[in-house]
Structure 1
Amino acid sequence: MSIPIYVTQPVLPELKEFIPYLEQIWEKNILTNGGPLHQQLEQELCDYLGVDYISLFNNGTIALITALQALSLKKGEVITTPYTFLATAHAIVWNNLTPVFVDIDPITSNIDPKKVEQAITDATVAILPVHCYGIPCDVEALQALATKHKLKLVYDTAHAFGVDYHSQSLLNYGDLSTISFHATKVFSTFEGGAIVCHSADMKQRIDQLKNFGIVDETTVNDISLNGKLSEVHAALGLLQLKTIDQTLQARAQVDHCYRELLAGVEGIRCIERSGIEKDNYAYFPIVISEPYPLSRDELFEKLKQHNIFARKYFYPLMTELSVYEQYQSDTPNAKLLSGQVLCLPMYPTLSIDQIQRITQLITDKD
């Protein structure tokens, strides 16, 4: 049996490079609560990403929950996409808000602003789009809607670390943006995440919310969660940041190789990543349709039989899960894409031989 190829592999530095950071942590005896490595990582991320304020979190889900809480939204509806990971919708419900799922653009896989506008009611308080696969949403149209209807605009930017769009970081759009630093992401701190905001006052509020709502030793202004990132996680982030540009270059080469080898295969469409000034190549999704002889599920099983583990990302839709059955909506584009999409293995150490092995199985069509 051949060596397994998984949909992703974490990028890790040499262990010997990590040891000095651990020694520093042991020497200072500060493990969490905004220690020196945490503060250093926040500053270096601001510099690298081109953002003014960033607050680190223990994971992207808590960051997203806290972002919605930080905006003090009145009880109401938040318009979002059904074509996403659980965390997006969970964060809405955790804040006692109602998710309203609208359809996507079938080409970009992102939320369709026209469908967003049709869903806005007097009960709408915010829009929560996802930059799916790291591909930018139509940020101009969404901002115009948010401004026109006086709505908050929060981006789930879990996939889009390091992406630049219209000469600036994609994280600078909207009222707030949240990022994931999970082990499967382009930039990882083992587990982690962040919120990007645009003022010192909002950063102070976010930092208090991620620490139980504590203001000082005797004052607590909010009932909130513990979202702090440890010094060990921050240390890994500092190391990862040293090589992130090489990581992105390697991912670009994998993306280019896939596109060359799959070009012209009837019934296989590689989702385009056009118009992005700086890309992170977070995923490599393909769309399977006629006249390709196999269904998405059949191709998924064929690859798995050869020890290649792709992912049906995103399947099922949020609205097809029993926990969200009360929030049904008509989203035919999302439903169609969910049944046709397959994310192929994508990580910077994926070799040319491995990519050829994967694409050969696809082009064989048996």
Structure 2
Amino acid sequence: MNSKRKSIFVTQPSLAPLEEYTDLLEEVWKSGILTHNGPKVRKLEKDLENKLNIPNFTLVLNGTVALQMAIKALELKGDIITTPFTWVATISAIKWEGCSPVFCDIDPDTLNIDEEKIEGLITKDTVAIMPVHVFGTACNVEKIEKIAKKHNLKVIYDAAHAIGSSYKGNSLLQYGDISATSLHATKLYNTGEGGACITTSSSLRKKVERIRFFGHNEEKEVVEDGFNGKMTEIHAALGIANLKYFDDVLKDRKEKYLMYLDLLGKSEKLNFQKIKENETNYSYFPVIFSSEEELLKVEKALNKNEIFPRRYFYPSVNTYSKILNHQPTPISEDISKRIMCLPLFYNLTPLEIEYIAKIILEKLEH
């Protein structure tokens, strides 16, 4: 590879041709409507419901706000059992809504919350379970639902990575009382900044809609304790433009994921997230090294060649001592030190993937 080639970062947004986006922006300009549940927002909600074959898709400002709105809509106050192997936003949302995170360790193969350990953490103060579909790979939604029903708990899925993922032929976003997804620029499908709440009932959707607009009902009376969680027409227009290419991006991501796996899968020094073909969207390619030392050695070699992977998720969130009291989760704490996501995005070329894999394998061999 040419040493003067461009840098390769862990991800890059998948974007429609600029002229297709600007055509939509011209319509926004002509309408004079930039926000307040405008026509582009309503269209994108309907388009996504049709595309994913799910009801009650409510667009919001971002994925973190979506989580907060889910907690608020379900009127939760107490302990929420969640995973430590996640982005800090999962915990921020819980804390901002006046609840307390209780950490359940992860399954070392799937990297999702270990559903076998959830019941042991349930107390009289537990109000909900908030699992994360890590890297877009489905949690054991049936087992989690069974536990929740047994103990009269709500389930909110942090489905930040999960748009395009499915479970038994259905969109993964339709599980739980509410699923909160992210449409951030780093995600497989994006609106630049954005997110959504997907609810199990139309009445709950109406509540989410009131919360995202300061608690107003359709008569503009304030009937909820809400805030400003609205998506703008600018972001919705980008989502409409990008949705046209959603299937192409999904197909491309799977092909590149499998290419990485073919190139790196024979190494005895590397492990990979356990996935089922029909229960993931292949949105990330995480690699688990035998030690943190090996990871750092490979990371340094890649950086030297202008390749910048990312240590998702490091450190394990339960170790954030400035904002939390430590609750031990040894599996998450161990894996978080040894895992790294390799570059994976639409414009990444097969030649670049081969080059990245070559550097990794050579460094591990020596």
Classify the TM-score, shorter chain: over 0.9
C-alpha contact (below 8 Å) 2:83/2:104 kept by paired residues = yes
Counterpart of 2:324 in 1: which secondary structure? helix
What residue in structure 1 maps to residue 150 of structure 2? 148
Does structure 1 residue 277 correspond to structure 2 residue 315?
Answer: no
Give the stretch that moved more between structures: 193-202 or 120-129: 193-202
Partner of 2:172: 170
Give the Cα–Cα distance (whole angstroms) in 2 for the partners of residues 324 and 107 of structure 1: 28
1:131 partner amino acid: H
Cα RMSD of the aligned pairs, angstroms, is 1.4
- Tell me, yes or no, if the aligned pair for 1:318 and 1:324 is still in contact at 8 Å: no
> Structure 2: which 5+ residue stretches go unaligned?
none
| Mapping 1:80-229, distance limit 5 Å | 80-216=82-218, 219-229=221-231
Cα distance change of structure 1 residues 325 and 201 upon mapping to structure 2, 3 Å threshold: closer
Counterpart for residue 357 of structure 1: 355
1:304 deviates by 0.9
Does 2:46 match 1:40? no
> Aligned equivalents of 1:352 and 1:272: distance in 2?
23
1:340 aligns to 2:342 (yes or no): no
- Whole-Å Cα distance in 1 between the matches of residues 324 and 171 of structure 2? 36
Provide Cα deviations, 1:69-124, integer angstroms capped at 9, x if missing partner.
00012x31000001100111111101101110110000000001121111001110
* Partner of residue 303, structure 1: 302
Provide the secondary structure at the position in 1 that maps to 2:322: helix
| Secondary structure of residue in 1 paired with 2:283 | coil
**Residue deviations 1:157-200, cap 9 Å, x none?**
00010111112111111100011000000010000000001222
Q: Tell me the distance in 2 between the aligned counterparts of 1:322 and 1:282.
A: 30
SS at match of 1:79: strand
Query: What amino acid is the match of 2:65?
Result: I
Provide the C-alpha distance between the structure 1 equivalents of 2:255 and 2:67, rounded to a whole number of angstroms.
Answer: 31
Give the structure 2 partner of residue 30 of structure 1.
Answer: 33
Cα offset, 1:263, TM superposition: 2.2
TM-score by length of 2: 0.96
Other structure's SS at 2:117 match: helix
Contact conserved, 2:60 with 2:66, CA < 8 A, in 1? Answer: yes
Distance 1:93 1:261 in 2: 42
Compute the displacement of 1:256 (Å). 1.1
Residue 274 of structure 2 aligns to a residue whose secondary structure is: coil
Q: Which amino acid aligns with 1:322?
A: S
Match of 1:61 in 2: 64
Unmatched tracts of structure 1, length 5 or more: none
- The answer on 1:52 being equivalent to 2:50 is no
Q: Secondary structure at the match of 1:273?
A: coil
**Which whole-Å CA distance do the structure 2 matches of 1:331 and 1:95 have between them?**
24
- For 1:160, the aligned partner's letter is A
Q: Which amino acid aligns with 2:307?
A: I
Report the equivalent of 1:319. 318
**1:15 alignment counterpart:** 18
Shift of 1:218: 5.6
Please say if residues 168 and 279 of structure 2, whose CA atoms lie closer than 8 Å, have aligned partners that are also in contact. no
For 1:301, the aligned partner's letter is K
CA contact (8 A) 2:137 2:279 kept: no
**Preserved contact between residue 250 and residue 349 of structure 1 (Cα < 8 Å):** no
The 1-side partners of 2:161 and 2:281 are apart by 9
- In the TM superposition, what is the alpha-carbon distance from 1:217 to its structure 2 partner? 5.7
Which residue identity does 1:287 align to in structure 2? I
Shift of residue 325, structure 1, vs aligned partner:
3.1
SS at match of 1:285: strand
* Residues paired across the two proteins, number: 361
> Which is further off, 41-50 or 297-306?
297-306
Structure 1 residue 289 and structure 2 residue 290: aligned? yes
Q: Offset of 1:27 from its aligned partner?
A: 1.1
Residue 14 of structure 1: CA displacement? 1.2
Per-residue deviation at 1:278?
A: 5.8
Does the 8 A contact of 1:192 with 1:233 survive in 2? yes
For 2:316, the aligned partner's letter is: L
- CA offset at residue 11 of structure 1? 1.0
Aligned partners of 1:330 and 1:200: how far apart in 2? 39
